[in-house]
Amino acid sequence: MSNGARERRQYASQAEAETALDEYRENERNPKPAPHTEAHATASMTFGQAVDRYLAEKVRKRSLFADRRITTHLKEVFGADTPLADITANRISEYKAKRLTTTSDRRKDVNGAAVTLSSAAVNRPLTILRHLLRLAHEEWGVLNTTPKIRLEKEPQGRLRWLTQEEATKLLAVCKKSRNAALADLVEFALFTGVRKGEARSA
């Protein structure tokens, strides 16, 4: 029945007709949401609201303070009242291009002149923005797609391995520490190569 008028439909087989009837009855019991519902949800969430939800979910992160500072910066750039769907790949690319030419307030070259932001400084807000948008798409269901965000390549830090003699001296000093567990922790880290945070949680 459509708009109060009875409809007659023909089906190739009885099984197909029964399937169609079952689908009709199921839709009557559990109506599907209107197609515009998701689009409406997307348009209704602002960037500021998305940031608030992101921070609420990351409240137990050790980096929460830094995340708050960075997301405050992002809200100033993109606008807290901007619809989340309007944070497009083009806008993000323009923001990144501007960051690449921005000089650092803290870093100077050998002549004392200001230098541009490092790749890591450019990437930090982009990484948080990318994570927020992925959550909005994959978990919150308020974005149909996520814009592609390309990060800058960061130079690899200098790696240095301890010699056997240096490792032995380090362990000897650790055994003299008031912290009885320090030597075991350092020895575990030397043999496995884990980071400090990973060793503490092991």
| Position 190 confidence tier, pLDDT thresholds 50, 70, 90 | confident
pTM of this prediction exceeds 0.85: no
SS3 labels along 26-82: HHHHCCCCCCHHHHHHHHHCEHHHHHHHHHHHCCCCCCHHHHHHHHHHHHHHHCCCC
Domain count, the chain: 2
Looking at 156, 175, 190, the residue that finishes a domain is 156
Using CA atoms, how far residue 77 sits from 5, 30, 41, 123, 131, in Å, is 54, 43, 23, 15, 17
Q: What are phi and psi of 107, to 5 degrees?
A: -95, 140
pLDDT in tens, 100-137: 999 887 777 667 788 898 899 999 999 999 999 999 99
Which pLDDT score is estimated for 197? 61
Domain around 196: 164-201
Query: Does 1 map to a domain?
Result: no
Residues 104 and 179 in one domain: no
116, β-bridge pairs? 103
Helix axes 64-78, 119-138, angle to 10 degrees: 80
Q: With residue 196 as reference, give the H or E element that holds it.
A: helix 196-201
Total residues found in the chain within this entry: 202
Q: How far apart are CA 156 and CA 194, in angstroms?
A: 17
Instruction: Clarify whether residues 130 and 80 are in a common domain.
Output: yes
CATH number at residue 86: 1.10.150
φ/ψ of 116, rounded to 5, equals -70, 160
Q: Are residues 109 and 183 in the same domain?
A: no
Distances (CA, A) of 29 to 5, 7, 84: 20, 19, 34
Residues 77 and 99 in one domain: yes
- Say whether both 94 and 193 belong to one domain: no
pLDDT in tens, 58-96: 888 888 899 999 999 999 999 999 999 999 999 999 999
Cα-based angle 22, 26, 27 (whole degrees, multiple of 5): 120
Identify the DSSP state of 165: H
Domain membership of residue 52 (yes or no) is yes
